[in-house]
Structure 1
Amino acid sequence: MIVAVVANTAWNLLNFRKSLIGALLAENHRVVLLAPDGPECEQLSASGAEFIRLRHLRRKGVNPLRDLALLYELRTVYAREKIDVALHFTIKPVIYGSFAARMTGVRNISTLTGLGYTFLSGGWANGLVRSMYRIALRHAAAVLFHNHDDRQLFLDGGLVTEAQSQVVAGSGLQLDDYPLSPYEEAIPNRFLFVARLLTDKGIREYVAAAEAAREVNPELSFHILGPLDPENPAGIKAEELERWVAEGIIAYDGVSADVWPHLARASVVVLPSYREGCPRVLLEGGAVGRPLLTTDVPGCRAVVTAGENGCLVPACNADALARAMLEMSALPKEELKAMGLRGRKIVEEQFDDQVVNRVYLSKVNIT
């Protein structure tokens, strides 16, 4: 069959869908990748898939004329390339790709990797997005979610049906890329936050907790790895990050295409997010064998079980986060190591990319 895989960036396709693309190609499907242009295009094309640049897809912002142009562009590509099945990822591809699939008779398999800022922020925009999801997904062959909470929210709102929806274990992780690292190689008392620097990733709570925890135990160190996202309304300012570094609260490790060495040096991996789909950094940290500290919210609690592979704290609570940091730093190294090993086993059994790929292949191969 001819299968389209659609996302809001080429980076997303390369980093989150590469294994799935390979699995589709291995079954002799023709795979057409659709996303805006990016430096990852050459590598994606080298995989054996075909890359088609979407000129009208913008990850952020609402522009009705541009979004209508995106719908027309997707409809044109689906018809011209004779697409049989379209796999839609991220918000705009899910909504406008679903409309285009309906218009061209393409089987629509959409994945809600997370609910996004607009969906969760309330107000008129929230109502508009919910209405668009309801209409767009009505005729989808399958709607996949990265956690049970998100699926239930859509079921309660009448946006999807029981029959068409199910939960898949995130995007999956290629475990060969994240070998287990001996806990003895971790730097003691080193906490690591890995994410885009957004308010709703809990970056401010992390910094506030770091400051409070270091007043109690100056031996603790706190690192941040991840990009600024100035186009995002939840993004922090560069000046704020610079001030945290200048005040000695945190160390900023910049951005890296290879997070494994950073995870291996950490003694605890931290993500105090407000809500997630299936947070990749927790899977990565677990695969490397590091205990995890995160919030008791949808997505995060699907990966972490308190006392088993890490610790859960309430969201938006820097005091609770600081207490958990101090408690984890006081645990014997053997206990932290055991948490990391249990985390590795959880990722192997539940979040391996082959587990996820089998779900998608079963949907694509229905005739």
Structure 2
Amino acid sequence: MKILVLANFGMGLYNFRKELLEELIKQDHEIYISLPNDEYVSKLEELGCKFINTPVSRRGTNPITDLKLLMKYTTIIRSIKPDLVLTYTIKPNVYGGLACRLANVPYISNITGLGTAVENGGLLQKITLFLYKISLKRAKCVFFQNKENKEMFIKKDIIKGNYKLIPGSGVNLNHYTLLEYPSNHNINFLFISRVMKEKGIDEYLDAAGYIKGKYPNTVFHIVGFCEDSYEGILREMQEKGIIKYHGKQNDVREFHKFSHCIIHPTYYPEGMSNVLLESAACGRPIITTDRAGCREIVDESLNGFKVKQQSSQHLIKTIEKFLKLNHKEKKQLGLEGRKKVEKEFDRRIVVDAYIGEINKALR
């Protein structure tokens, strides 16, 4: 069978869907991937995927650009004639879903997060939810990554057919193995994310400035692509010795090796935080926001701590709470996190759920 996958960037497709693609190729399906060209496309092609270069403005709201994307998807579907289409993230879900409806092709969508357009309310929220309603109407299955997203779509009468809750993208437990917990000489905190406001970087920097002054044996690391507005701030704080900025990295496991705790104070509307799943899999305690997509991964005081969103003071108090733990207690938090992801967030759970729905859709 021909299966077309619509996504918005190669890194996400490779890092979080690779095992599903491998399984589908193993089952002799012909896999086409439609997304913008990036450094991960060659890796996806090595798996056996056939690439179609498709520009996607991930955060843009220009209706002309979005109309062009709909037309592009329509052209691709007419050309390939897929037996099934899989869509991920907002724009492929919406415009890919519409294109599938027009072509009468079965499709399965994954709500990987609602995005700021829905989170912030107003006219843009109404437009986005309306587009979701018409684009998901004939989906063979809609996968949700957290309960709140699912309940909102039900409450707003956006979905009525087949839908399922899955544990985010899951985590590859063979790739993210349990790492030895580091010694207690210097305590290394780690922030892994795009450096942007909604990911909680302001709160992290506030906490780093306060904690570093009070506890000199702490080190605050930042890994991730930096948006222009934060470049100067990071440079200044690094020169003062408050933080260590490592830029964008391809393999974060090297940083988990020396980290004692992951701090993820995001208030971005995520489906399920892959950063937290990977960190827990490596046996690292978690401090994160008490919101959908994050709270599901933390059992309070068992494998980490939850903080109020956009509250630097609560984050500081929670970091101090963590610092007061002895080495054995910190290590135990990480071990409990590993147990939790093994039980609830193994990527095999997600792959199996997809294979089940794909087989039903292709009958």
TM-score w.r.t. structure 1 length?
A: 0.94
Q: Which residue of 1 aligns with 2:261?
A: 268
Contact 2:182 2:257 in 1 (8 A): no
Contact 1:181 1:289 in 2 (8 A): yes
Q: Matches of 2:126 and 2:165 in 1, distance apart?
A: 24
**Counterpart selection for 1:354 from 348, 351, 354:** 348
Runs of 4+ in 1 over 6 A off after TM superposition: none
Counterpart check, 1:199 vs 2:197: yes
Once the two structures are superposed, residues 270-312 of structure 1 have per-residue CA deviations (whole angstroms, 9 ceiling, x without a partner) of: 1011142111111111111111111111110111111111111
Q: Matches of 1:132 and 1:37 in 2, distance apart?
A: 26
- TM-fit CA distance, 1:19: 1.2
Contact 2:226 2:247 in 1 (8 A): no
Contact 2:113 2:145 in 1 (8 A): yes
Following superposition of structure 1 onto structure 2, how do residues 82-121 of structure 1 map, counting pairs within 5 Å? 82-121=81-120
- TM-fit CA distance, 1:114: 1.0
Once the two structures are superposed, residues 15-35 of structure 1 have per-residue CA deviations (whole angstroms, 9 ceiling, x without a partner) of: 221111111112221111110
- TM-fit CA distance, 1:37: 1.4
- TM-fit CA distance, 1:356: 0.7
Q: Which residue of 1 aligns with 2:315?
A: 321
Contact 2:182 2:260 in 1 (8 A): no
Q: Which residue of 1 aligns with 2:241?
A: 248
- TM-fit CA distance, 1:237: 2.9
Contact 1:5 1:33 in 2 (8 A): yes
Counterpart check, 1:41 vs 2:35: no
Contact 1:59 1:92 in 2 (8 A): yes
Contact 1:187 1:267 in 2 (8 A): no
Contact 1:185 1:264 in 2 (8 A): no
- TM-fit CA distance, 1:247: 3.2
Q: Which residue of 2 aligns with 1:66?
A: 65
Paired amino acid for 2:94:
I
Alpha carbons of structure 1 residues 256 and 119: separation in structure 2 relative to 1, 3 Å = same
Give the CA RMSD over aligned residues.
1.5
Contact 1:186 1:264 in 2 (8 A): no
Q: Matches of 1:65 and 1:202 in 2, distance apart?
A: 32
Alpha carbons of structure 1 residues 62 and 10: separation in structure 2 relative to 1, 3 Å = same
Q: Which residue of 2 aligns with 1:343?
A: 337
Moved more, 74-83 or 180-189: 180-189
Aligned length: 360
- TM-fit CA distance, 1:331: 0.2
Following superposition of structure 1 onto structure 2, how do residues 20-169 of structure 1 map, counting pairs within 5 Å? 20-54=20-54, 56-161=55-160, 163-169=161-167
- TM-fit CA distance, 1:187: 6.3
Contact 2:196 2:230 in 1 (8 A): no
Paired amino acid for 1:255:
K
- TM-fit CA distance, 1:244: 2.5
Counterpart check, 1:182 vs 2:180: yes
Q: Matches of 1:240 and 1:216 in 2, distance apart?
A: 21
Paired amino acid for 1:198:
M
Q: Matches of 1:47 and 1:304 in 2, distance apart?
A: 34
Alpha carbons of structure 1 residues 9 and 294: separation in structure 2 relative to 1, 3 Å = same
Extract unaligned runs of 5+ from structure 1.
231-235
TM-score w.r.t. structure 2 length?
A: 0.95
Q: Matches of 2:187 and 2:111 in 1, distance apart?
A: 36
Q: Matches of 2:349 and 2:208 in 1, distance apart?
A: 36
Extract unaligned runs of 5+ from structure 2.
none
Contact 2:182 2:258 in 1 (8 A): no
Q: Which residue of 2 aligns with 1:291?
A: 285
Once the two structures are superposed, residues 229-266 of structure 1 have per-residue CA deviations (whole angstroms, 9 ceiling, x without a partner) of: 45xxxxx4322222222333211111110000101210
**Counterpart selection for 1:334 from 300, 305, 328:** 328
Once the two structures are superposed, residues 75-132 of structure 1 have per-residue CA deviations (whole angstroms, 9 ceiling, x without a partner) of: 1211221211111001110000000110111112111111112221222212211111
- TM-fit CA distance, 1:340: 0.7
Q: Matches of 2:50 and 2:73 in 1, distance apart?
A: 15
Paired amino acid for 1:224:
I
Alpha carbons of structure 1 residues 185 and 28: separation in structure 2 relative to 1, 3 Å = farther
Once the two structures are superposed, residues 148-172 of structure 1 have per-residue CA deviations (whole angstroms, 9 ceiling, x without a partner) of: 11111111111222x4222111112
Contact 1:186 1:266 in 2 (8 A): no
Contact 2:4 2:34 in 1 (8 A): yes
Paired amino acid for 2:324:
A
Q: Matches of 1:136 and 1:186 in 2, distance apart?
A: 52
Paired amino acid for 1:197:
V
Determine helix, strand or coil for the equivalent of 1:365: helix
Q: Matches of 1:246 and 1:16 in 2, distance apart?
A: 35
Q: Which residue of 1 aligns with 2:300?
A: 306
Q: Which residue of 1 aligns with 2:232?
A: 239
Q: Matches of 1:27 and 1:186 in 2, distance apart?
A: 48
Paired amino acid for 2:277:
L
Percent identity reads 34
Q: Matches of 1:337 and 1:143 in 2, distance apart?
A: 38
- TM-fit CA distance, 1:224: 0.7
